[in-house]
Structure 1
Amino acid sequence: MHEIRWARLEDVEDLGRVHAASYRDAYKEIMPADYLVKVAAEERARHFEHSLSQDMERTAIMLVNETAIGCLIINPSIEGFESTAEISAIYLLKEYQGSGYGTRLLDWAVERLKELGYIKVILWVLQENKAAIGFYERRSFEFDGTEREIYRSRNLRQMRFQKAL
């Protein structure tokens, strides 16, 4: 049995563990090891504690049999689009990928965004992350032609995807 809900302060350790482990797994073939080794559960837990206590962003947690397996973060878009939200993070532990949990987590986010009055959602995907690109395209997200460069111990290209809600 799975549950997806808005995260609470008592979830920060689970959020930190899930986010750090899934981030390192997702990008181990893309980002340099010297960068990934710095992505630690404790540091991520501190981020979530600060974020949740300051109400800085909306964070959700996914549980299976009361064990945290995924998380997501949504925010109003900083791109300047009216009524647009951004999924700034969506992560699932590797052992749960390919079982439909990622789709459930994304669908949950889309439904919450609709309830909050958003009409469009965007997200950024690393150009080299072909698995993630395929995942989003199969769920009706489209590359809108916008790219940007980020630095994670080396320069990386991100592509912006969007979907009308």
Structure 2
Amino acid sequence: MGVIIRSMEEKDIADVRKVARTTWHHTYAYTIPEPVRVRFLDSFYSDEALKRRLDNSLLLIAERDGTIVGFGNFFKSRGDPEEAELGAIYIMPEAQGAGIGTMLLKEGIERLQGTKRLFVNVEKTNRTGRAFYDAKRFRVVGETEELFYGYALHTVKMRLDLA
């Protein structure tokens, strides 16, 4: 059976949280301290936070053989109707490299009608994420350092021109 991309539903919250936890710990185990990862995940992937995102953003699910193996989260800009942000594309480690991230990105772009610029922020040390966005023609437009639960996070801002 192939991969199905669909809109997230409230019943998917626990599975989305599992994907987020698994991928974050897998991706950042050697770069972001565990207490920082746990605080972030507890805050950003609580039931309440995910319900708010269901109401205020585009959340897409990647499902393979009846199991959620990834998700993508997109936000329309409040300030510029031609801009949107890709908040996350997380794919379970065992499902990475199968084109699922590309499917989520493509579907998100199709649903963000009128968007001409898509932005994403990626941790500078996330080589897999950076390679994915580079391959999709995102280009670096800036870098920042911010305190993230007391940890200095180095973020690269990237942009994909759609028009």
> Shorter-chain-normalised TM-score: which range?
0.7 to 0.9
1:44 aligns with 2:46: yes
RMSD: 2.2
AA at the equivalent of 2:121:
W
Aligned residue runs from structure 1 range 12-161, under 5 A: 12-38=13-39, 39=41, 43-52=45-54, 55-77=55-77, 80-113=79-112, 116-161=113-158
- Alpha-carbon shift at residue 109 of structure 1 (Å): 1.7
Deviation at 1:77, TM superposition (A): 2.9
One-letter amino acid matched to 2:97:
G
1:18–1:91 contact (8 Å) kept in structure 2 = yes
Q: Unmatched 5+ residue regions in structure 1?
A: none
**Is the partner of 2:108 in helix, strand or coil?**
helix
Question: Is the contact made by 1:20 and 1:40 (CA closer than 8 Å) also made in structure 2?
Answer: no
Amino acid at match of 2:114: G
| Distance in 1 of aligned mates of 2:74 and 2:80 | 15
* 8 Å contact kept, 1:15–1:45: no
- Check the 8 A contact 2:71/2:91 in 1, yes or no: yes
Give the alignment's TM-score, normalised by structure 2.
0.87
- Return the offset for 1:34: 1.6
1:153, CA displacement in angstroms?
A: 3.8
Structure 2, unaligned runs of 5 or more: none
Counterpart code for 1:57: S
Q: Alignment length, in residue pairs?
A: 160
1:65, 1:40 → 2: CA distance? Answer: 28
TM-score, length of structure 1 as denominator length: 0.86
